[in-house]
């Protein structure tokens, strides 16, 4: 019986305050074009799930989608200081992300 009481106390201490909840996140942005970077739209969204085992200890899971649209301009010089060709376009990058984090 003493062992069962000890197990009950451990369960009560560590798992009585277990709480969990789901969350949704989104991020929007725009990158300004400079000499070293291209302009474009940024969009992230995803789902998260947080489990707290103790008041200041838990685990966080995340699954997300990322979209990055980049505009670019390519200038080609065949002769010095004379622009021969200019190409303007954009690329889209789609990606999925998965994350696990510890909360303390």
Whether 1 has a pLDDT exceeding 50, the answer reads no
Please give the pLDDT value at position 15.
54
pLDDT classification of 97: cutoffs 50, 70, 90: very high
Candidate from 6-10, 38-42, 55-59, 63-67 with smallest mean pLDDT: 6-10
Q: What are phi and psi of 73, to 5 degrees?
A: -140, 120
Among residues 22, 73, 10, 17, the alpha carbon closest in space to that of 47 is found at 22
Please give the pLDDT value at position 79.
74
Dist. CA 90–CA 48, nearest whole Å: 31
Q: Where are the domains of the chain?
A: 18-103
Give the global pTM. Answer: 0.60
Whether 26 has a pLDDT exceeding 60, the answer reads yes
């Amino acid at each position: 019986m003493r062992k069962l009481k000890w197990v009950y106390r451990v369960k009560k201490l560590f798992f009585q305050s277990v709480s969990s909840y789901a969350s949704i996140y989104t991020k929007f942005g725009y990158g300004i074009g400079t000499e070293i970077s291209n302009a474009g739209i940024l969009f992230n969204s995803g789902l998260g799930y947080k489990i707290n085992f103790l008041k200041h200890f838990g685990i966080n899971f995340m699954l997300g989608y990322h979209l990055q649209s980049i505009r670019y301009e390519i200038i080609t010089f065949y002769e010095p200081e004379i622009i021969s060709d200019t190409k303007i376009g954009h690329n889209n990058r789609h990606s999925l992300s998965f994350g696990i984090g510890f909360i303390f």
